[in-house]
Chains A and B, each alone.
Chain A
Amino acid sequence: MSYILLRHRDIPNIKDIEVYAKHGGFESLKKVVTSMQSQQVVDEVKASGLRGRGGAGFPTGVKWSFLPNNIWPHYVVCNADESEPGTFKDREIMENNPFQFLEGVAIACYGVGAAEGYVYLRGEFKQLQVFLDECILQMHAAGLLGDNLFGSSYSLKIKTHLGAGAYICGEETALLESIEGKRGQPRVRPPFPAVVGLYGKPTVINNVETLTNLPQIIEKGAGWYKGLGTDKSAGVKIFSLSGNINNPGNYELPLGTTFRELIFNYGGGIPNGHKLRAIMPAGASSSIIRIDDSTFDKVMDTKMDYENVQSVGSLLGSASVIIIDDTHSMDWVIDKTVHFFKHESCGKCTPCRDGNYWMLHIVERIHAGHGTNADLLLLKNVANQVNGKCLCALGDFSTMAVTSALERFPEDFAAICPDASAGVHSTLKA
């Protein structure tokens, strides 16, 4: 099958505007602007079954339809913050297939009646910002952005905004704060951005990969896209594969591809003769899936889509699949994840700010070999006090690896906490 998103792998020079145009580029934008009503675009995207690729999997067309028709202007903001550990797909798209991405932003703008679209890039993508700004200028010069597109009354501008290093700015309301020139701290909801978003106006926020699907959906039709993937998880997804794997990288595959296919067919298996021990399918925010002889086949045959990953105790999220082999212990893994979340907590709400501070202290103590059974219980307790009690999902994310590691890998902790007997598992569950 030819690529839908990573089309530079089929057409190497697609980042050249003329090459992109020659391969059907901008035809979809022209089609929507010259022959479709906004509502028809929304209906088409709804019918395609496209769901958000930023993590939550919310149906894209449905999200667009929440914007009120009596408050203007509307904005489209593209989330190109890409900071979840293990995620590196949006960067590959934007660096190599920039015009399909920008055409997607433009189609979304038309669909919700926005005259301005913003692309929010993480600060580390500074060079990418320069590159995208050049691409945007080329589109202006070719009459694909600017006033009265294709002779219609529709005018559109796209702007890039550079962050400055903060994972939390991937959270959509923190991202809006950041564009507005503030610290990137999440807003209390309601009101939701669909009603009160950027500069107080109705705003749609979508991930880079989500939007890059749009030109092909318009070109080939909702039915075609719906036919890919599974019933409830339509289309293709880019899986970012990292960690202890022979061929790390991005893999564009239909949703519903199994873990076995991704890890062993495409990823080439685990290097150096080691065994697969754990998978984090949604980056550092994942519950850790345990692999051993008794669970191997069940997990390997699980379809990676928005429904089925739950059946093995985790979530698909942004599909940043981190592979961990049997040379690593889970106290080390959660030492890494808690370090990350402690560093990235924005500090606005107490459970997350203080909870991560304490989780880090306890995990460091355990990892250094100075922990006791009481520390394990305390760690579990603190994680429970954070989960579900925070202003945004980062707080919940920070507990996923911790709680699942303690529950599913008790032997790793028993091994380094002297008084945690073989009964650690049941003690923890009590």
Chain B
Amino acid sequence: MSLAKNIPNPLREKYPEEVQAIFDKYPVKRSAVMPLLYLAQREGGYITKEGMADIASMLDLDVTQVASIVGFYTLYHDEKAGKYRMQVCNDLPCALRGADQFLESLCQNLGIQVGETTPDGLVTLEAVTCLAACDKAPMFQLQEGDKLTYYENMSVDRTLELVTALKAIGPQGTYGGEAK
């Protein structure tokens, strides 16, 4: 705790209004941890050790407490991955409608395995559990920083078109596109 206290608060400097709004929202300070983690993840797509220390110091928590929250929830990441995480649902209801074959075909077309990132560092392909869209399989969500977009009733072709569009934007731009 004491260690964390000495470091500056880059999150507060970077997003002053949003941080203040988060603090104003809850009667107990600690409740701010989840929204603050999303904010910390906005730019790089993952939360650095410094980012966790920053949040810990704002909330009077130990860095390990913050790290344990990052580790517990699947939408927080503590390691760099592709700019976009393409998270395909292959849970039972989607799998009954061909999600495993869809995922397999994406792997082949992108030349990567589940969990890997395309060589240009843009797309990490992941398999996830039910996303409450089982009637619209095959489907996936695209996570980019703190943004999430659903893509439903997808075909392999349309997914590859999306990947092409992401590549055209390149590593600097932001997609944040509308769901199709």
Interface residues of A (CB under 8 A from B): 82-88, 90-91, 122-127, 159, 161-167, 178-184, 199, 240-244, 248-250, 280, 284, 320, 322-324, 328, 333, 336-337, 340, 343-344, 346
Contact = CB atoms under 8 A, between A and B. Distances in A.
B133 interface: yes
B129 interface: yes
Given A87-B132, A243-B96, 9 more contacts: A82-B132, A83-B130, A86-B93, A87-B130, A88-B134, A122-B132, A164-B74, A240-B134, A242-B137
11 contacts: A86-B134, A88-B135, A164-B37, A164-B73, A181-B33, A181-B59, A182-B69, A243-B92, A336-B91, A336-B92, A336-B95
B119 to A, nearest CB: 27
Interface of B: 25, 27-28, 30-35, 37-38, 59, 68-69, 72-76, 91-93, 95-97, 129-135, 137, 141, 146-150
A166 B31 contact: no
A272 to B, nearest CB: 12
Contacts of A167: 129
Contact of A181 (B30, B96, B149): B30
B129 A242 contact: no
B72 A166 contact: yes
Residue of A164, A249, A280, A324 ringed by the most chain B CB atoms within 10 A:
A164
Contacts of B74: 123, 164-166
- With most chain B CB atoms within 10 A of its CB, the pick from A86, A124, A241, A280 is A124
Contacts of A184: 72-73
B34 A85 contact: no
Contact of A322 (B59, B72, B93): B93
Question: What are the 3 tightest A-B residue pairs by CB atom distance, in nearest-first order?
Answer: A164-B73, A165-B74, A248-B135
Contacts of B28: 180-181, 199
Contacts of B27: 199
B109 to A, nearest CB: 24
Given A164-B73, A284-B92, A324-B96, A242 B134 contact: yes
Contact of B76 (A84, A164, A181, A243): A164
B148 A127 contact: yes
Given A88-B132, A322-B92, A124 B31 contact: no
Contacts of B30: 180-182
Contact of B73 (A123, A159, A322, A337): A123
Contacts of B72: 166, 183-184, 346
A163 B116 CA distance: 25
Indicate the member of B75, B95, B130 with the most A CB atoms within 10 Å.
B130
A88 to B, nearest CB: 4
A240 B135 contact: yes
Contact of B31 (A123, A181, A243, A324): A181
A24 B149 CA distance: 33
A165 B92 contact: no
Contacts of A243: 92-93, 96-97, 134
A165 B129 CA distance: 9
B92 A333 contact: yes
Given A85-B91, A183-B69, A340 B129 contact: yes
A328 B97 CA distance: 11
A426 B27 CA distance: 58
Contact of B130 (A85, A244, A249): A85
A418 to B, nearest CB: 26
Nearest to B32: A181
Nearest to B129: A340
A86 B37 contact: no
Given A242-B96, A284-B91, A337-B92, A163 B132 contact: no
Given A164-B73, A242-B134, A181 B129 contact: no
Contacts of A166: 72-74
B130 A84 contact: yes
Given A85-B92, A243-B97, A164 B75 contact: yes
A12 B76 CA distance: 36
Contacts of A126: 146-148
Contacts of A333: 92
A321 to B, nearest CB: 10
Most buried by A among B76, B132, B148: B132
Nearest to A199: B28
A344 B128 CA distance: 11
Contacts of B73: 123, 163-166, 183-184
